[in-house]
Amino acid sequence: MRELPHALGAPGARPRLRWLDFLLLAAVASLLWSLQNLGAGMLAPLDVSQKPLDQNISSLPYYAGRTVLRMWIAFGFSLTFALGTGYAAAHNRWARAILLPLLDVLQSVPVLGFLSATAPLFLGLFPHSLLGMECASIFAIFTGQTWNLCFAFYQSLRSLPADLQEATHVCHLNRWQRFTVLELPAAANNLVWNAMLSFGGGWFFVVQSEAVTVLQQRIQLPGLGSLMAASLDTADTSGALRAIAAMLAVILLTDQLVWRPLLDWSEKFKLELLSGNSKPRSPVYRLLQASRLPAWLEANIAAPIRRRNWANLQKTLPRAASALKALWGLCRIGALCALSVLSLLAIKSTAGALPLLLHELQDVDLPRIVWLSALTLLRVLLMTALASAIWVPVAVMLGQSRRATRVLQPLFEMAASFPVNMTFPFIVGFFVSHHVSMNWGSILLLALGPQWYILFNVTGGAASIPNDLREAAKCYGLRGVSRWKFLLLPAVFPAWVTGACTAAGAAWNASIVAEVATWGSTTLKAEGLGSLIAEATQKDNGGELAAGVGMMALLVVLMNKLLWRPLYALAESRFGLGA
């Protein structure tokens, strides 16, 4: 009898590649080729003459690729930073006492403040290369992405059920095992939701990060943000619409190729006793699940190498472990020394600039800055309250209803990812034609971006409600107001605190672009701290810029200390799953 070929998954089977696997290999090869070409452009010589950007449609894919590459590099640093700081703040009370106030201050510093401080530094490190401005742009995008991820991961770790934490101690798991087995998987769903939102936050500041004025020179990096900035300066409607269309296409592709598969993948990490009946909705995720490429690599490459070298590995593993331990100690010492050197350099540069800064601060009108800060504070509080009242019910509906999620979630994801400040010039025309005061209209502009932090955080919290709690609510006959009072609102309260805190912080940052909107020669300005910082940056007024940024940081720290910190403590003690 002729022997039949082994089926996939049978003992001793060697999976065969299919057309899908070759398609994935071709996609990976194309991605690597694109990264090589786009990365080469980041190392080009710095051209101070700044030739005009190519407005042809054929250049849009290259500009889009350069912008997307900056976004993903910044996101990689943002995620790494968030995991490290969130873990340290959640597990060490001394680190928590230092990191949380520090994150509050850094979150409050506007992106323009980071750019003004870091762009000359990076240009000094790479004086004749475009890499200096690329690093400054990536760092600015990083500052628009990472804070939400930090607070989201911290809140996820602090909300872990107590019984699961006890189980890790009973099983004698070390820190790394506890992190990989419990903490990171438990936070995966919330991290994916907030990663998608943080990525959209990076889009919000892509215009400011790619077109920068440094040392009286206007430097534009090739990208969609700089293309949009050039269109805004010249009131080029067709150019602005082309940039918006290209950005919408990039956002749609990112959603379908990255975020949608990750959302479906993260569903399996939800903390619940009863398994849900949800199935993957992403075609890309289903294709990746059907691929035999990982099994083929394991069977044909990884397993033979492992079998051949296992005996040698057993002999060298103890020595390698001791060597790695020693290397880790050296790395910690080196990192501490590097941090000390950087701190000394920062102190030295600050001390050198301090006399000039103090001289410029003497001309600052402090009562006026306090009054403008109060106006912006009122706008931020009003925006947070209105956004919460509108989006919390919608977010709970999205988290509880699969049908509503399938219909509305893609629309909200597109709206959240799109940099709404690109629509400000068109809204300016509406305000002018309908005689809307910018002092009130800026509240709408302020809410267009930060409101999504509340929607997506609460949606993630509602989607993470364990099925056993939902079934218990049904058994007790909770409906209508009672269901909202005893199940839904308490369950999403920790997520709302994270979303509202991050939305308020983002609103302070967004006030820089929301209180001043320009289209060609038409400019509308609202009285506020954001417009003050924007004007001080344009005029290179170091005194007003430092005073405005310092006042904004002070107000954000006070809000977090007096409002958000107590709400975080209440969420942990009363409404967390581990309470």
Q: From residue 520, give the alpha-carbon distance in Å to each of 233, 236, 540.
A: 5, 8, 21
- pLDDT of 7 over the 50 cut: no
Q: Which one-letter amino acid corresponds to residue 75?
A: F
DSSP 523: E
What pLDDT does 277 receive?
A: 47
Which spans in 159-236 are helix H? 162-170, 175-178, 184-204, 206-210, 224-234
Q: Report how far residue 115's alpha carbon sits from residue 221's, in angstroms, rounded to the nearest whole number.
A: 14
> How open is the CA angle 99-101-107, to the nearest 5 degrees?
95
Q: CB-based burial of residue 310 (10 Å sphere; 0-12 exposed, 13-18 middle, 19+ buried)?
A: exposed
- Residue 560, C-beta contacts closer than 8 angstroms, at least 6 positions apart: 101, 104, 501
What pLDDT does 114 receive?
A: 65
Of the pLDDT bands very low, low, confident and very high (cuts 50, 70, 90), residue 47 is: low
Tokens representing residue 312 in the block:
């040698």
- Bigger pLDDT: 326 vs 384: 384
Of the pLDDT bands very low, low, confident and very high (cuts 50, 70, 90), residue 48 is: low
- pLDDT of 193 over the 50 cut: yes
Q: Report how far residue 18's alpha carbon sits from residue 20's, in angstroms, rounded to the nearest whole number.
A: 5
What pLDDT does 2 receive?
A: 41
pLDDT tens column, 238-269: 777 788 888 888 888 888 888 888 888 887 77
Of the pLDDT bands very low, low, confident and very high (cuts 50, 70, 90), residue 352 is: low
What pLDDT does 537 receive?
A: 72
One-letter-per-residue 3-state SS of 93-117: HHHHHHHHHHHHHHHHCCHHHHHHH
**Range in 24-33, 161-170, 441-450, 512-521 the model is least confident about:** 512-521
Sole residue written with tokens 């995008």: 141
What pLDDT does 506 receive?
A: 78
2 Rama class: left (phi>0) / alpha (psi -120 to 50) / beta: beta
Which among 418, 486, 491, 416 has a CA at the least distance from the CA of 458? 491
Q: Are 500 and 570 in contact (CB under 8 A)?
A: no
Mean pLDDT of the chain: 76
- Bigger pLDDT: 421 vs 338: 338
Of the pLDDT bands very low, low, confident and very high (cuts 50, 70, 90), residue 10 is: very low
- Overall residue count recorded for the chain in this entry: 579
Q: Report how far residue 194's alpha carbon sits from residue 146's, in angstroms, rounded to the nearest whole number.
A: 10
- pLDDT of 353 over the 70 cut: no
- pLDDT of 339 over the 80 cut: no
- pLDDT of 279 over the 60 cut: no
pLDDT tens column, 402-411: 677 667 776 7
β-bridge partners, 220: 211
Quick one: what percent of the chain has pLDDT higher than 70? 75
- Mean local confidence (pLDDT), 144-153: 84
Write down the number of H helices and E strands in the chain.
Answer: 26, 4
Give the gyration radius of the chain's Cα atoms: 26
Highest mean pLDDT among 68-72, 90-94, 204-208, 517-521: 68-72
